[in-house]
Amino acid sequence: MSDILGYAGKRVMITGCFSGMGEAAAKLLIDLGAEVHGMDYKQSALPLASFTQVDLRDPASIEAGVAAVGGKIDALFNCAGLPNGTFDPLDVMKVNFIGLRHLTEAVLPMMGEGGAIANIASTGGLGWSRRIPTNMEFVTIKDWEAAVDWCEANKDTVMEGYAFSKENVIVWTQFMGAHLIKKGIRINCTLPSPTQTPMMADFHKISGKDVVDAAAEPLGRYSTPYEQAAPLVWLNSDFATIVNGVVLPVDGGFMGGIPTGQIDLSRMMRRAAD
State the pLDDT at residue 216: 65
Could you tell me if 162 and 185 are in contact, meaning their C-beta atoms sit under 8 angstroms apart? no
Residue type, 233: V
Question: Could you give the domains of the chain?
Answer: 11-273 (3.40.50.720)
Q: What is the pLDDT of residue 89?
A: 97
- Alpha-carbon distances of 225 from 27, 76, 153, 254, rounded to whole Å: 11, 18, 36, 17
What integer pLDDT is reported at residue 178 of this predicted model? 96
Quick: pLDDT tens for 178-231: 999 999 999 999 999 877 766 666 555 566 676 666 666 777 788 899 999 999
3-state secondary structure the chain: CCCCCCCCCCEEEEECCCCHHHHHHHHHHHHCCCEEEEEECCCCCCCCCEEEECCCCCHHHHHHHHHHHCCCCCEEEECCCCCCCCCCHHHHHHHHHHHHHHHHHHHHHHCCCCCEEEEECCHHHHHHHHCHHHHHHHHCCCCHHHHHHHHHHCHHHHCCCHHHHHHHHHHHHHHHHHHHHHHCCEEEEEEECCECCCCHHHHHHHHCHHHHHHCCCCCCCCECHHHHHHHHHHHCCHHHCCCCCCEEEECCCHHHHCCCCCCCCHHHHHHHHC
47-71, pLDDT tens digit by residue? 999 999 999 999 999 999 999 999 9
CA distance 53 to 69: 11
> Edge-to-edge, what's the strand order for the sheet holding 35-40?
50-53, 35-40, 11-15, 75-78, 116-120, 186-192, 247-250
Say what the pLDDT of residue 255 is.
Answer: 81
Other Cβ atoms closer than 10 A to 64: 15
Q: 27: how many CB neighbours lie within 10 A of its CB?
A: 17
pLDDT values of the chain reduced to their tens digit, one per residue, 274 residues = 578 899 999 999 999 999 999 999 999 999 999 999 999 999 999 999 999 999 999 999 999 999 999 999 999 999 999 987 789 999 999 999 999 999 999 999 999 999 999 999 998 888 899 999 999 999 999 999 999 999 999 999 999 999 999 999 999 999 999 999 999 999 999 999 877 766 666 555 566 676 666 666 777 788 899 999 999 999 999 999 999 999 999 988 888 888 888 877 776 555 444 4
Predicted TM-score (pTM) of the model is 0.92
The predicted pLDDT at position 271 comes to: 46
